[in-house]
Amino acid sequence: MSDITPTAGRGYSPARDAGGGPAPANLADILERVLDKGIIIAGDIQVNLLDIELLTIRIRLLVVSVDKAQEMGIDWWRHDAGLTSSKRELENENEELRARIAELESSSGSQRSRARKRS
Amino acid sequence: MSTKGRYMFAVATGLESSDLEGQDGLDGNPLDVVEHRGLQAVVCDVDLDEFGEEPVRQNLEQLAWVERVARTHDSVVRAVAARATVAPLRLITVCLDDESVVRRLEQWETPLRAALERIEGCREWSVKAYAGALTSDPPDGAEALVTTGTAYLRRKRQQSDRRQQVDREAAETAEALHVALAGRSRASRLLAPQDPQLTGRRDRMILNGAYLVALGDEPTFQAAVDDLAERHPDASLEVAGPWAPYSFAVLEIPDDS
């Protein structure tokens, strides 16, 4: 029977630790398959696996908060083109809104001060 | 005595009763095969104190519990895959009794048979690519002391430009790799790239692909991986498997786009 030997070949590295048979697969690799793939048939017990999104699992594996994770550079979701571009749009929009608010505040502020002067 | 349920690991065809000897289910419970017209559900008893709706909701909050169930699930699926054609079920599919399991097999008979047919004689291979040389780390000397605000902003801008360019290059490389590998496999799927802390590598994962490869095509597939590794020395490839065809065991029409 033909077989691919993951440890063979030039230019790419083995996925498994060397020595003594196949090492147990990486937990993240298992979870992304057993939680996210496979045949979905509703059993008698209602289970909502959406409750544990992979991201949450990943973060929990690290036992750190999302903020801490970002600090540590775990920010792959930020590299997602869709997320990033919409984030940029939001940032631009925020900036514009902030500028507009500042403008309105300063003009209403001067109106108020004018009103105070009149009274 | 607490109530028992039946945990379904997978649906298989061509499994012999002796094939599962030496493989336990969850909590050391023996595996059983529940059959309906040649479709074989691989099941074991579970305690509903642990696998009932409310307990499961709580247990899912504990990574150690999730890990234990996930590893056992995968180990049973692997054992079945070594002997027969298998469609793994998603984690934690629990019925109340064997009659209920049979009803599921009846209800989903046609799509289950179609799914098993699609994956028969194939195994799933995972190919990951890492950015390797395609990093956005600043070149040596770029960390010179920044003395002015303008210089600081200029450096930020340069870093951002460089990062964007690197991202573009990485995306192009990932796509080229995926297209080539997809061409050598029966079906392919893209999984979300994993973060560096989990992979234990400093360079970013740019491709996390799953490829369904017929046993007879495995040498050609490996040759394709070798070839790609040579043609893309800037990316670093990692092959893992074989997996049971998790990513391809689906009841709907697969979306390979």
ipTM of the complex: 0.81
* Residue % of chain B over a pLDDT of 70: 91
Residue A98's Cβ-count burial label (10 Å; 0-12, 13-18, 19+) is exposed
Instruction: Using the predicted structure, report yes or no on whether residue A6 has a pLDDT greater than 50.
Output: no
Query: Is the model's pLDDT at B198 over the cut of 90?
Result: no
Q: Is any Cβ of chain B less than 8 angstroms from the Cβ of A67? A: no
User: CA A6, B185, B78 angle in degrees (round to 5)?
Assistant: 55
pLDDT at A98: 80
Question: Which residues in chain B have Cβ-Cβ distances shorter than 8 Å to A46?
Answer: 53
Q: Are residues A100 and A60 in the same domain?
A: no
What's CA B71's distance to the chain center, in Å?
13
**A67 and A29: one domain?**
yes
- B42 confidence band (pLDDT: 50, 70, 90): very high
Q: Does residue A72 share a domain with residue A94?
A: no
From A5, A29, A34, residue closest to B126, measured CB to CB: A29
State how many domains chain A has.
2
The interface residues of chain B toward chain A in range 70-129, judged by CB-CB distance below 8 A, are 70-71, 73-74, 87-96, 100, 104, 108, 112, 115, 125-126, 128
Output phi, psi for B210, to 5 deg.
-120, 130
Instruction: Calculate mean pLDDT across residues B57-63.
Output: 81
- From A53's Cα to the closest Cα of chain B, the distance in A is 11
B254 — pLDDT class (breaks 50, 70, 90): very low
| Mutation target among B39, B66, B98, B109 for the A interface, most CBs of A within 10 A | B66
For B144-192, write each residue's pLDDT tens digit: 666 788 888 888 898 888 888 888 888 899 999 999 999 999 999 998 8
Written as one string, the DSSP assignment of chain A is -----TT-SSSEEESS-SSSSPPPPPHHHHHHHHTTSSB----SS---GGGS-HHHHHHHHHT--HHHHHHTT--GGGG-HHHHHHHHHHHHHHHHHHHHHHHHHHHHHHHHHHHHHH-
Q: How many CA atoms are closer than 13 Å to the CA of B111, on its beta-carbon side?
A: 13
Q: Where are the alpha helices (DSSP H) in chain B?
A: 48-51, 53-59, 63-81, 98-107, 109-119, 149-182, 196-199, 218-231
Domains of chain B (ranges; CATH) run 4-120 (no CATH), 123-136+166-248 (3.30.70.1710)
What range does the domain containing A64 cover?
25-36+49-76
* A57/A91 same-domain check: no
Residue A4 lies in a domain: no
Assign B147 to helix, strand or coil. Answer: coil
User: Do A31 and A66 fall within a single domain?
Assistant: yes
Tell whether A72 and A86 lie within a shared domain.
no
- From A118's Cα to the closest Cα of chain B, the distance in A is 45
Residues A72 and A90 in one domain: no
Distance of CA B104 to the CA centre of its chain: 24
Residue pLDDT, tens place only, A105-116: 777 665 555 555
Same-domain status, A54 and A94: no
Do residue A96 and residue A114 come from a single domain? yes
Q: Shortest Cα distance from B90 to chain A (angstroms)? A: 5
